[in-house]
A and B are shown apart, each in its own frame.
Chain A
Amino acid sequence: MKLKQKWDAGFLEKYQVMAPRYTSYPTANLFHEQFSAEDYIKACGKQKNCISPISVYVHIPFCERACFYCGCNRVITRDRERIQNYLQALYEEIRLRGKLHGHRRVLQLHWGGGTPSYLDPSQMTELMHELAMNFELDGSESRDFSIEIDPRTVAEQSIALICGLGFNRISLGIQDFDPQVQKAINRIQSYESICRLMVEIRKFGFDSVNFDLIYGLPRQNCQTMDKTLDQVLALKPDRIACYNYAHMPDRFPAQRAISSTALPDGMEKIRLYGMISSRLIDAGYVHIGLDHFARREDSLAKAVEEGKLQRNFQGYSRTLANDLVGLGASAISEIGHCYAQNAKDIQAYLAALDKGNLPVAKGMELNDKDRLRKKIIQSICCNLSLDTEAIEKEFGISFRQTFGLQLESIKAFEKDGLVKWDGKVLRVSYSGRFILRNICMLFDEYLYNSPTSKFSKVV
């Protein structure tokens, strides 16, 4: 395989750096506490007459058990009362935010976690009802309403409810089908149970089903991955997100249960990712960029062709709305030129809402420079290209003058066949997709001021 040979030739060393995932720019670690709920409300005030649609994200931070790899903001509990208390606060937040954004149509809705499917049927129904009471949820076919599902928490009956509540997309946390790997990450779910669930999901005609996979997990190797991929492809998911496991036990205590000796080494990880992408592409999937794949006929793959892809905290999606309202502990909103993040700590989140305040804990307002760089990074991630003339026109700058240093580095990338630069448009090549984050990093103004250990390795 040509690709593998190339990587073997010392590329690994060269591009193996810590890099952000660029679900936002500037990255969330730069949000600061000087940005308050008042700043958020002020930003919303500027948009009072704005009627363009919005996206809504709802964070349900609870899980029944700890998956050892997880770096999400979540709480392991079986205390149903605790969940109920959180939901009461969440409803309060929904009412407060509804007053600010309730007049705008919600074309995109995503419930993430934690485990949203850990809510019982009545809680899910009530949550959707509260959202519908306070926001203008879209009922048309073109909406994107999705929910993350832990297959271990849903009965087949729940799929009917999820459909009836208006969701038209489902994302399943698969990670890996190998029993040894599943044991090592404390997430045991049989292939047969997923097959049954898929039959049920297909019966209800969901528009798309996404599988989340992770590579670089303990006990994974090319043989186990080959088999997992056989099983994945047999189930024909419409979208596949294949994340790189970032082992950062200092930051995520749950990961301490994973022995670093059981992890595949850097070279094996490269092989794993190479194998995943080539097998998925052979099977007819399109590489969307940064770990995401979609079937050619899926709306996400079509969005790539039309240049209508966006990247936000939930990963890639079709561009249906520019502003994002994040609800729940740790959720991030993006309104106008502001980011605002809710309190991560559940107690702090509950306390703010108990007083009737928006639970905004941090955030930042983007200046013109941030907006320019955000646009560039978004374009690289979503379009796999950058039209520098369009950027010059939009921001009234000279690209060469502003990014002279970056262009030097671009030339080095070009020599390695990772990008093509014709003086006007920068295009990421096939192998460049593997190091998209390295390319984005060039344009990240803050990177050299931030401690790199906070980010995960690129490959």
Chain B
Amino acid sequence: MSGVESDVIAVNNGPKCRHSPSTSCGDCRLSGICLPIALQHDEVARLEDIVNRSKTIQKGYTIYRQDQEFSAVYAVRVGCVKTMRTTQDGKEQVTGFYFPGEIFGMDGISKNRHTNSAVALESGAFCEIPFDRLQELSSKLPSLQRHFFQLMSSEIAFDQQLITQLSKNSAEERMAALFLSISSRFAARNQSGLRFRLPMSRGDISNYLGLTVETVSRILTRMQQAEIINIDNKEVEILDIEKLRMSAAVL
């Protein structure tokens, strides 16, 4: 399956900032993701008017709740967000992790209601793009709406591919697929894909992968012994990406 590596959003080559919360959309490091290239300068200003930029949040903050009406999509600026849902038998299921530059909240798009809750895993910042206002603006700037739906469709496809990969394969393959996914997502945003920090707990990882915490720990130990990765608490270094790909059964 090609999903894990090739389906991330195009690499951002736009101007860089130090992701300061006060940055305007035009200067944002993530503008290549949010903004259609064809947008003129004054059009960017109009978009800025509707985006609630860089709201800062504390660890544990809930951005939206399951069953809440869908009104906006969100982009992670700083930090990491996890999405999860409560199943019918009352259990919590982690459904995704989102890193800077990634858009979340699309789970609401096909039912107009969020099927997940989104919670900040660490203090950070996100942008909120209200959908009704986006649609209003899009009637004046058609390329904008097309661009957003383009973004969303690739995010939706990417999510599905990851979910499918994670639901089918062995524990080892799932763990490796998650590492590869995170690695390629960082790399696609001009950050190191070989050294990164895992913002989520072992509990969240095991829940997401449908494994027990013990299994996750055992696999991590095995991967270290095989010199595929080096892991120190939350700091991860990928030592042998080819072996990791083989473990994930994606070649």
Contacts and interface: CB of A to CB of B under 8 A. Distances in A.
Interface of A: 121-126, 128-129, 132-133, 137, 139, 156-158, 160-161, 163-166, 203-205
A157 B157 contact: yes
Contact of A121 (B113, B157, B159, B168): B157
A125 B109 contact: yes
B238 to A, nearest CB: 25
B145 interface: yes
Contacts of A121: 149-150, 153-154, 157
Contact of B157 (A123, A133, A161, A203): A161
A164 B149 contact: no
Contacts of B21: none
Contacts of A163: 160, 164
A308 to B, nearest CB: 25
Given A126-B145, A157-B7, A204-B164, A164 B159 contact: yes
Interface string B147-188: 101101110111111001000100000000000000000000
B87 to A, nearest CB: 13
B95 to A, nearest CB: 12
A124 B158 CA distance: 15
A139 B111 contact: yes
Contact of A122 (B113, B115, B146, B168): B146
A122 B161 contact: no
A143 B113 CA distance: 17
B111 A160 contact: no
A26 B160 CA distance: 43
Contacts of B110: 128-129, 132, 137, 164-166
Given A122-B147, A124-B153, 4 more contacts: A122-B146, A123-B149, A160-B156, A163-B160
A288 B158 CA distance: 37
Of B112, B146, B168, most A-chain CB atoms within 10 Å = B112
Contact of B160 (A123, A124, A164): A164
Interface of B: 1-3, 7, 70, 109-113, 115, 145-147, 149-150, 152-154, 156-161, 164, 168
A122 B149 contact: yes
A82 B13 CA distance: 32
B164 A165 contact: no
B81 to A, nearest CB: 18
A143 to B, nearest CB: 10
Given A161-B160, A164-B160, A125 B152 contact: yes
Please list the 3 inter-chain residue pairs (A to B) with the smallest Cβ-Cβ separation, ordered nearest first.
A121-B153, A164-B156, A122-B149
Nearest to B147: A122
Contacts of A123: 149
B3 to A, nearest CB: 7
A128 B3 CA distance: 23
B111 A132 contact: yes
A280 to B, nearest CB: 30
B65 to A, nearest CB: 16
Of A122, A132, A133, most B-chain CB atoms within 10 Å = A122
Of B111, B153, B158, B164, most A-chain CB atoms within 10 Å = B153
B196 to A, nearest CB: 25
Of B3, B145, B147, B157, most A-chain CB atoms within 10 Å = B157
Of B3, B70, B110, B154, most A-chain CB atoms within 10 Å = B110
B111 A137 contact: yes
B42 to A, nearest CB: 24
Contacts of B154: 121
Contacts of A128: 109-110
Contacts of A129: 109-110, 112, 149
Given A160-B3, A161-B160, A122 B153 contact: yes
Given A132-B111, A133-B112, A137-B111, A125 B164 contact: no
Contacts of A205: 164
Nearest to A137: B111
B135 to A, nearest CB: 9
Given A122-B152, A122-B153, A161-B153, A166 B160 contact: no
Nearest to B6: A157
Nearest to A166: B110
Contacts of B1: 203
Contacts of B158: 160
Contacts of B109: 125, 128-129, 132, 165
B112 A126 contact: no
Of A126, A133, A137, A163, most B-chain CB atoms within 10 Å = A126
A94 to B, nearest CB: 12
A124 B145 CA distance: 13
Contacts of A204: 160, 164
